[in-house]
A and B are shown apart, each in its own frame.
Chain A
Amino acid sequence: MDITFQAFMAQLTIGLIGGCFYALLSMGLAIIFGLLNIINFTHGAQFMMAAFLAWIGLTQIGPWLGYPDFQINFWVALVLAPLCVALFGMVIERTLLRRLYHLDHLYGLLLTFGVALVMEGAFRYAFGVSGQGYEPPEILQGPIDVGFMLLPKYRVFVVVASLLICFGTWYLFERTKLGAYLRAGTENPRLLQAFGINVPVMITLTYGFGVALAGIAGVLAAPIMQVTPLMGGNLLNIVFAVVVIGGLGSILGAMMTGLALGLIEGLTKVVYPEASTVVVFVIMALALLVRPAGLFGREA
């Protein structure tokens, strides 16, 4: 194979960036699953919604309001868009999801799926299917020399920011008092409530937090990927495979699996580009044959 070292590293870096998004999304899924026991099929739509909100804030809102020069700063959008999406998610949790907790998981799955359809359909109706996008902030434009190659600064930023958020989340859940409550809620919510913790509020906030992680991923992804109503759904299919491989039992596990599969996908692009879109699914099939319970598994 005559592949230059540069090309190899470039694909690996692209894989790493993809892996960061997988990690953020599967971590959110794992957090939500831990406490709510549902698989959040709306995750992709929420990812997409945050990207759209950021795009609207950065490029559209000025003309809409009649001040063509007005636009929301990228950094503000990075906080605001995930917050809006999280708020929206928490409303859904309070009004719809909450009613289904006593039923089979299947109903939560179907409900979140329905919400995702409504969101995707609404955005497609409003904005069409063509890709949109926005530029990263000026400070992150241009390339940076990372030793072996030149990389756009923004991509480096995405990797660093994602890893920081992942480790922050892990720290929050595994090393703080609040995290202890959350893990206790996963183990035995009724006992935790008996100790005076307001579990229903905790559940709502946890759902919001998981959704916000998807939102952050969405805002970060928008300058790299095309912002379209289907961007989340397509990504979520892969993230589901990631989650099946890693299992939803541990936050660290979800994160590691996400990063690893991103890298593998990048490698596949070097070796056999046609297969790169399905390599994650194939690995999932193999993993199921070898280790059916998942690498960090906890049965649903």
Chain B
Amino acid sequence: MSNTFKIFLVLIGLALIVPFVPGLIYPVFVMKVMCYGLFACAFNLLLGFTGLVSFAHAAFLGSAGYVTGALMIRFGNHPLGMPAAFAAGVAAAALVGFAIGGLAIRRRGIYFAMITLALSQIIYFLAVQFRWTGGEDGLQGIPRGSLFGLDLSSDTVMYYVTLALFAAGFLFVDRVVHSPFGQILQAVRDNEARATSLGYDTDRFKLLAFVISAAVAGYAGAMKALVFQLVSLNDVSLHTSTEVVLMTLLGGVGTIFGPLLGAGLVVGLQNYLATIGDLVTVVIGLIFIVCVSFFRRGIVGEFLHLRRRRAERGKTRPVLTATRAEAPAVEAA
């Protein structure tokens, strides 16, 4: 059993007992962290393991949320309503990802980032314009429906369903990263020219990575729509795209658990700082500056780096976990 899997089991074990100690930690908070954590993992798949920076991830989170929400409002009572709406949401995000990714991979580097940013504005515009998205109001009071006869309107039931969905999504991302496909992505990230010379159609791999990342972000968005029974314009806004960059950067780009930790910290920070209003943006900006200037590996990345250094000093073979112990690869690109 790999270290990653052990840590994962411990986290799931801890999460399982959360509803029994509501005084210690609020289950809704944990659900929020799981939604954003998975969102950040999806983003990290692209930034950390493929070396592409996207400012469009809110478009995937939001479009899945809107599709799932709108379908639940219409067909929520149907026994198969929830799984169908959920799947439709993920498919919508993948489709949007295919469209945006297909255009963006035509350019590299900072152009790529600017294209994703610009195209995500179209999604935002559509969310304002369409009638079925509720325009400025968004979708409110989305029914949670039921899953295999389980009524999801209870927060505790929803909590465990969310946990199961989260675990499945997280394991899927981990599986992608450690698959041969994931290895090729990392090769593309580290040296695209060499990957091409080895015969890989790098554009195809980048596009596929983009679509998978968008689909997982959509998966998180559909989860979020059901948990909070609400989808708003904020979910498709640049603000949300920014937050996911921050979560990944803070936790550790290119690490497995970094985005999760980053999501927990940023969501916690928002709850904690909710009273200071506009200054939250300032704090988030400052964290950005500090991370980029002094702390490029992120928290998990720095930890792994220290551990590896210590192991090297002891002249033993470094204890490599499944995560990349070296600095984020974007540095080398």
Contacts and interface: CB of A to CB of B under 8 A. Distances in A.
Contacts of A150: none
Interface stretch (A15-23, A118-126, A140-148): A118-126
Contact of B281 (A96, A110, A121): A121
Given A100-B292, A114-B285, A121-B280, A244 B238 contact: no
A99 B295 CA distance: 13
Contact of A277 (B125, B245, B285): B125
Nearest to A103: B331
Interface residues of A, number: 48
Contacts of A121: 278-285
A299 B108 contact: yes
A237 B118 CA distance: 6
Given A244-B114, A278-B122, A107 B292 contact: yes
Contacts of B242: 113, 117
Interface in B109-131: 109-111, 113-115, 117-119, 121-122, 125, 129
A111 B125 contact: no
B122 A282 contact: yes
Contacts of B118: 237-238, 240-241, 244, 280-281, 284
Give the dominant DSSP class at A's interface.
Answer: helix
Nearest to B53: A106
Given A96-B293, A104-B331, A106-B110, 17 more contacts: A39-B110, A96-B289, A103-B331, A105-B110, A111-B289, A113-B288, A115-B285, A115-B289, A117-B282, A118-B286, A120-B285, A124-B281, A125-B277, A237-B118, A278-B121, A281-B118, A292-B106
The 4 A-B residue pairs with the shortest CB-CB distance, nearest first, are A114-B288, A121-B281, A117-B285, A118-B285
Interface of B: 53, 103, 106-111, 113-115, 117-119, 121-122, 125, 129, 238, 242, 245, 249, 277-289, 291-293, 296, 330-333
Interface of A: 33, 38-39, 96, 99-100, 103-107, 109-111, 113-122, 124-125, 233, 237-238, 240-241, 243-244, 274, 277-278, 280-282, 284-285, 288-289, 292-294, 299-300
